[in-house]
Structure 1
Amino acid sequence: MTHKAEFDVIVVGGSYAGMAAALQLARARRRVLVLDAGQRRNRFAATSHGFLTQDGASPAAIAERAREQLLAYPTVQWRTTTAHDARQQDSRFLVTTEDQATVSGSLLVLAPGVIDEMPTLPGIAERWGKSVFHCPYCHGYELNQGRIGVLATGAHSLHQAQMLPDWGSVTLFTNGTFAPDDAQRADLQARGVVIETAAVTRIIDTATVLLSDGRQLPQDGLFTACRTRPASPLGEQLGCAMEAGPLGPFIQVDALKATSVPGVFACGDAARGAGNVALSVGDGTQAGVSAHRTLLFS
């Protein structure tokens, strides 16, 4: 059944960025609706790192505690659903959910997160977030300066291979996707990176790399640079400008997290080239404050 409900701000996405935005608005006693499908990007990881006071905590526990605290504010509503469509009508935004309900708000905050497009190599998906990662700041320290593989997905993998020697002994598996030039090869070798050009056929055990010539190279962890895309099409539907990042498109925002569409803000991984929990919380806080100031002064 279709119905309309009035809110000051609708937040699309209830992970770390979305909840941080909603919290600022709730504390300003604004009517906030959070629409969330329950698919946090880091749901595959057992622990989260680099977020002050929560280093080593379960991502699920951080999110659940944040949700409990947010819903203690009486002006906040939460619906576990997917936002399928968003449009402007007069001075408001209408958002339609998967059950065909329509809600309206004066402003929108888009915090849908992103989808990681992992390499299709056998063994990657089931190890994602456990022994195969994308962010060294999130997971590098726990590898205890051990053996670290970088599975190249393109030229942008050079950056990972250059960084990761701070966390362990690195082997770059070019896998036919990237050929370092002479200067890049010299730089990698100066950093102690081993370059392996044989094709990778599968990942087994913890993170052992099987090569096409039959060799097996055990690793303590494997990093790969996934392509990403926003987990919701709402930004593009509304006409928000997009930016082409090295790993994929994201919603373009200014320093206040405002998009190119007046009244629409965006935060978290969907609105930056790369991110983590701490950055998402900071982005969401800024988006919430900016949305509140827009309600006050626009």
Structure 2
Amino acid sequence: MQHDVIVIGGSYSGMAATLQLLRARRTVLVIDAGERRNRFARHAHGVLGHDGEPPDELAANARRQLEAYATLTWVEGRVDAVAGQVDDFIVTTTAGLSFRGRRVLLASGVTDRLPAVEGLAERWGRTVFHCPYCHGYELGQGRIGIVGASPMSIHQAELLTDWGDVTLLVNGAMDLDHEARSGLERRGVAIEDTPIDRIEGSADVVMADGRRLRFAGLFTATHTSPSGALAETMGCALEETPFGVQICVDAEARTSVAGVFACGDVARAPHSISLAIGGGALAGAQVHRSLLWPGTIASAQADSGVR
């Protein structure tokens, strides 16, 4: 069987795209490895109509709604390779299964690289976060620590002052010149230059000089990259952004490879569930349009500016 579209990744953006395609009565195969980026979080916030809902419930309910459509096929697995061309792609999983599709949509998400601070990774998604719109409100305007990771941490510290009293823990991650320090101080951000030794308790930061700084929660600017090397091996152009590496796409979610689209965190920044859903819905509609007017794919791809 040849599917109209093979969606690689069944998290929020992939499911949002799939919904648009199913409602256009297209045959869609979703291949999902079951590793949602927010699987470490207890609750999802800032999602209209689902604010505060556990991520597992949010994702499971979305999948149940998709499964009501007869043209959906869902395979749990990991994609190993994609070969072929427009209207004749072959997608192979690590289990050795092969599937054919006319279009491919990459919605495989990203991997977060955290600063190398003892105790940070164990608290990721629980008391250590990256998105203030997703997790800032629940900290109750308490003390917030920013674990320095890159120059993006400066912007993160300034932004978070609307959610609490902020301390930027530089931790040797960046050089703060006079202008940067003055800007942070104007926003009321305290600056801590002593290196971090470890994180304990809920969100207690133990400094190298032995001091213990207690916070309601911690934020850090992770460096993201596409989950797996699939996009790169397919020849999709990648780009470095302030958030990390992502797949280059144009306004219609097209990658540099004709017939291959991408959406969600792997293709757009900044990142949140709401933005992933919106981007996925748009990508699904654009993939559908490419099926209706297949003769425009190559020329549109060439004119898109994506390389």
Determine if the TM-score, normalized by the shorter chain, exceeds 0.5: yes
Q: 1:79 aligns with which of 75, 83, 87?
A: 75
Identify which range, 11-20 or 273-282, moves more after superposition: 273-282
One-letter code aligned to 1:222: L
1:248 matches 2:244: yes
Partner of 2:299: none
What is aligned with 2:13?
17
Residue 90 (structure 1) shift: 7.1
2:85–2:258 CA contact under 8 A, matched in 1? no
Identify which range, 65-74 or 239-248, moves more after superposition: 239-248
User: Could you say which residue in structure 2 is the equivalent of 1:114?
Assistant: 110
* Partner residue, 2:46: 50
Structure 1 counterpart of 2:117, which letter? Answer: L
Q: Distance in 2 between matches of 1:246 and 1:139?
A: 21
The code of the aligned residue for 2:253 comes to K
Residue number in structure 1 paired with 2:160: 164
**Which residues in structure 2 correspond to 1:1-298 (within 5 Å)?**
5-89=1-85, 91-298=87-294
SS in 2 for 1:21: helix
Give the TM-score normalised by structure 1. 0.97
Report Cα offsets for 1:190-237 as digits up to 9, x if no partner: 111110000101001110110010100000100001111111322212
1:149 aligned partner, one-letter code: G
Amino acid at match of 1:9: V
The answer to whether the 8 A contact 1:256-1:290 is kept is yes
After superposition, give the CA deviation of every residue in 1:106-155 in whole Å (9 maximum; x if it has no partner). 00010000001112211111111110001111100110110000000121
The residue type equivalent to 1:169 in the other structure is D
User: Are 1:83 and 1:95, in contact at CA under 8 Å, matched by a contact in 2?
Assistant: yes
**2:146 match: secondary structure:** strand
Deviation at 1:89, TM superposition (A): 4.8
Q: CA deviation at 1:28?
A: 0.9
What SS does the aligned partner of 1:8 have?
strand
Are the equivalent residues in 1 in contact too, given 2:86–2:259 (CA < 8 A)?
Answer: no
Judging changes above 3 Å, is the alpha-carbon distance between structure 1 residues 240 and 217 closer, same or farther for their aligned structure 2 residues? Answer: same
Tell me, what secondary structure is at the counterpart of 1:145? coil
Listed as ranges, the gaps of 5+ residues in structure 1 are none
| Amino acid paired to 1:69 | Q
Amino acid at match of 2:81: D
Identity of counterpart residues, as a percentage?
Answer: 51
- CA root-mean-square deviation: 1.0
Q: More deviation in 105-114 or 268-277? A: 268-277
| Distance apart, 1:274 and its partner CA | 2.3
User: Helix, strand or coil: the match of 1:265?
Assistant: strand
Is the CA contact (8 Å cut-off) linking 1:150 and 1:172 kept in structure 2? yes
When the two structures are aligned, how many residues end up with a matched partner? 294
CA–CA separation in structure 2 for the residues paired with 1:250 and 1:110: 11
Cα distance, 1:101 vs structure 2: 1.0
